[in-house]
């Protein structure tokens, strides 16, 4: 089965050697990808964004057509002028992770202080940029990881009420409550969905005391209970244009995943499209996959649909145990369509 070549609207490509290792797996399946700017250090200005774009372009495999979609990170130093300069340099989105919630967010703003930056978000709205945000509230660690996405909904609601025309992408929605909220929200509020939140349940990641038992399945937001997984699958396969694909493929070296406090992130790029194909077939709606991966996100970002096509992977596939020191999702397992 052939479909229009997809896009990945949430991807961590990293830098340096890791970028060179993982980028070919994204470019093989996707024509474009949102290159998240929460690198180390975070990309917070137009100049930094352009340097990162050049690094990505240099790493693209020979004769491969691929375009990174670039943006900057909301940090404590972001001003309205920062947004103006970023848009002029080609930025499509402003990325937000509440400080301390996930990888490389130490330069960011606490969720409870986000209202201070509403003038910046107004500039984002006026420029036509997208506000792409990781909605979790930890309350300095007092809220369990299972409850952090739900606890952030009130903050999301405040942004919607104060800046109603702002295009908001709820990144990697992982709970039934968030998915239901997005469904009922205005049309300018949408969400990306990952393959791993549609396949992995909390009990595969942690025991009932919250101790991580499989660091290679540990990510933020953490994978949830079965009813949440079912909600992700339901939204993904529904044909609702409010939901589109963002892999949140987030590679880390093996040693970083095996620390006492494992790095958060799942490397899914090599098998994401294969997993999605399996999910849509299991749900009996393979014809809806193209819209989910190739059209809905492009429409939200104001991008033309890709003209090239790709043959969807089928048949059994044994996932390698690692890719040059990076363990992928379902390493060593066989995926069958």
Q: What is the DSSP letter of 242?
A: T
Please indicate whether residue 180 is annotated as part of the active site: no
CA 264 distance to own-chain centroid: 13
Return the biggest CA–CA distance within the chain: 52
Q: What is the DSSP letter of 236?
A: H
Burial code (b: 16+ CB inside 10 Å, e: under 16) for 51-87 equals ebbebbeebbeeeeebbbbbbbbbbeebebebbebbb
Q: What is the DSSP letter of 318?
A: E
DSSP labels, 120-178: HHHHHHHHT-EEEE-----TTTTS-GGGHHHHTHHHHHHHHHHSTT-EEEETT--SHHH
Residues near 141 by beta carbon (within 8 Å), at least 6 away in sequence = none
CA 62 distance to own-chain centroid: 26
Q: What is the DSSP letter of 41?
A: S
Q: Which residue has the tokens 């009130």?
A: 154
CA 12 distance to own-chain centroid: 8
Among candidate residues 115, 158, 248, 324, the one labeled active-site is 248
Q: Which residues are catalytic?
A: 248
């Amino acid at each position: 089965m052939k479909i229009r070549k997809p896009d990945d609207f949430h991807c961590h490509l990293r830098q340096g050697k890791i970028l060179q290792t993982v980028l070919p797996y994204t470019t093989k399946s996707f024509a474009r990808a949102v290159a998240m700017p929460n690198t180390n250090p975070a990309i917070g200005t137009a100049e930094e964004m352009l340097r990162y774009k050049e690094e990505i372009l240099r790493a693209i495999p020979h004769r491969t057509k691929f375009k990174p979609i670039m943006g900057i990170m909301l940090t404590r130093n972001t001003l309205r002028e920062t947004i103006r300069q970023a848009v002029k340099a080609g930025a499509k989105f402003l990325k937000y992770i509440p400080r301390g919630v996930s990888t490389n967010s130490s330069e960011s703003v606490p969720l409870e202080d986000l209202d201070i930056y509403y003038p910046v978000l107004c500039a984002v709205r006026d420029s036509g940029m997208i506000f792409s945000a990781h909605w979790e509230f930890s309350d300095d660690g007092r809220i369990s990881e299972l409850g952090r996405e739900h606890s952030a909904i009130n903050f999301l609601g405040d942004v919607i009420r104060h800046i109603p025309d702002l295009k908001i992408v709820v990144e990697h929605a992982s709970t039934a409550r968030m998915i239901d909220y997005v469904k009922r929200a205005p049309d300018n509020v949408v969400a990306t969905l990952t393959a791993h939140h549609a396949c992995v349940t909390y009990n595969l990641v942690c025991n009932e005391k919250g101790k991580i038992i499989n660091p290679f399945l540990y990510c933020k937001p953490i994978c949830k209970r079965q009813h949440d997984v079912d909600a992700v699958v339901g939204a993904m396969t529904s044909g609702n244009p409010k939901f589109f694909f963002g892999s949140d493929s987030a590679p880390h070296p093996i040693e970083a995943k095996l620390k006492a406090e494992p790095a958060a992130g799942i490397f899914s790029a090599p098998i994401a499209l294969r997993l999605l194909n399996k999910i849509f077939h299991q749900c009996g709606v393979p014809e809806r996959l193209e819209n989910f991966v190739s059209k809905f996100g492009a429409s939200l970002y104001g991008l033309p649909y890709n003209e090239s096509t790709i043959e969807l992977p089928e048949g059994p596939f044994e996932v390698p145990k690692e890719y040059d020191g990076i363990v992928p999702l379902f390493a060593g397992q066989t995926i069958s369509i």
